[in-house]
Amino acid sequence: MKTTRTVLTGDGTVAPSSISSSAVATLSLCFAIALLEGLDLQSVGVAAPRMAREFGLSVAQMGLAFSAGTFGLLPGAMFGGRLADRIGRKRVLMLSACIFGLLSIATAFATSFPALVAVRVLTGIGLGGALPNLIALSSEAVPLKARNTAVSVMYSGIPLGGVIASIVGMMSAGDAGWRHIFYVGGAGPLLFVPLLFAFLPESKAFSRAAGRAAKPAPVIDVLFGEQRARSTMQIWISYFCTLIVLYFLLNWLPSLMAARGLGRGEVGFVQIFFNVGGGLGALFIGMLMDRLRGGLVVSGMYVGIIASLAALSIAPGFAALTASAFFAGMFVIGGQSVLYALSAAFYPTAMRGTGVGAAVAVGRIGSVIGPLAAGQLLAMGRSASVVIGASIPVTLIAAAAALMLIRRPRAAD
């Protein structure tokens, strides 16, 4: 069964588009897994103040704990995307959900700082393997003209998962309550794996491409063959720089707000508004990419990131910090969802898992560097405002790469 709607093309004309019931099932289940991934990704940041007290962590050690999970995302994304082009997106997504669910629960049982770092690295491998498959499944489930919207609908689950992490953190009493976040974040994916097995359809585009191809192309050909080299480098630079900013905020925002004098409840509300803004930004900016000229949307998106970061660095009180965090989430998280959709458009179906996985992996280097760099700046005595402001030049580099990328030719399928 299909439902028909209209989509505005970049030149203002109207094109028909149909969303099948299998696409609805795919987007719904992918959204749910993204929600749980977002919960886990932000769980360490929410739990950090209480974890630091229990383990006696320094600021630099907290930065290492934040980056441990994102470091695991790098090999997870690379191998998860490559494996998806061989055995299918659905199978790799199920395996990844099992890994990050089990390891999230294991985080709650960590009793030392080395054990915490080790388990977060392993958790990151599962989280990294899931993301390129969520992107590929979402983009391949809908017609070409709706891909930005589809990926954005899926990706909006990640910041909304952060809202759940913040709420669980606010409701968990006592210093030992930080473990509850990881129990919730681990049980969810494990409960969803049977639903993925029963109801998630494999990508039809992947099945067709797998039937045509004798074997997957070498990685070097996927990334740099057939005039894709320039597009690949621009995707990598935009991912790398944008994720430096995003993961710095995801991990350090609660601690930075506490350093600005906010209480635990106020910090929780700032984090919630950051993630609500991110969910709304992912939805609306993705939809605009399917309806307006891409260069205009991307330009406005990065102007919004810079303005919101500047506001966040100078906001004088709780209300202003909350509003600034909302818009920072809207543009930073919304902007990253657009980049994920763009990366899927530049690689053919038979190569999409590998191409997107490599881009996510390179971006994860930025997601490791962001929290570490912020931790080092804070350890040197820099203020929260200086640390936030330092991310603005990085954003300008990401904007330049993304604006050049938007002019490049896309893949035909």
CATH label of the domain that carries residue 61: 1.20.1250.20
Q: Give residue 11's pLDDT.
A: 39
Tell me the three state secondary structure of residue 57: coil
- What stretch of H or E contains 295? helix 294-314
pLDDT at 141: 92
For residue 213, what pLDDT is reported?
60
Output the pLDDT for position 5. 44
Q: What are the tokens at 288?
A: 């605009």
Q: What is the pTM of this model?
A: 0.83
* Closest-CA residue to 364 (of 124, 42, 139): 124
Q: Is residue 413 part of a domain?
A: no
Neighbours of 6 (CB within 10 A): 9
Query: Would residue 349 count as lying in a domain?
Result: yes
* Whole-number pLDDT of residue 401: 95
Q: What does each of the 413 residues of the chain score in pLDDT, given as a tens digit?
A: 444 444 444 333 334 345 788 899 999 999 999 999 999 988 887 887 788 888 888 877 877 877 787 778 889 999 999 999 999 999 999 999 999 999 999 998 988 888 988 999 999 999 999 999 999 999 999 988 888 899 999 999 998 898 888 888 778 766 667 888 899 899 999 999 999 999 999 998 888 887 776 567 788 888 898 888 999 999 999 999 998 888 788 777 877 788 777 887 888 888 889 989 999 999 999 899 988 888 999 999 999 999 998 998 888 888 998 999 999 999 999 888 889 888 888 888 888 999 999 999 998 888 778 878 887 887 887 777 788 888 889 999 999 999 999 988 887 76
Provide the β-strand partners of residue 15: 7
Q: How many domains does the chain have?
A: 1
Residue 329 covered by a domain: yes
Instruction: For residue 257, tell me if it sits in a domain.
Output: yes
Instruction: Kindly provide the b/e burial profile for residues 253-275, where b requires at least 16 CB atoms within 10 angstroms of the residue's own CB.
Output: bbbbbbebebeeebbbbbbbbbb
Q: Determine, yes or no, domain membership for 3.
A: no
C-beta of residue 59 within 8 angstroms of C-beta of residue 382: no
Non-local CB neighbours of 137 within 8 Å, separated by 6+ positions: 26, 30, 89, 90, 93, 200, 203
Q: Supply the range of the domain harboring residue 168.
A: 20-208+215-405
Give the DSSP letter of residue 201: P
Is residue 14 in a domain? no
Query: Would 104 be classed as within a structural domain?
Result: yes
Alpha carbon 230 to its chain's center: 23
Whether residue 8 lies inside any domain: the answer is: no
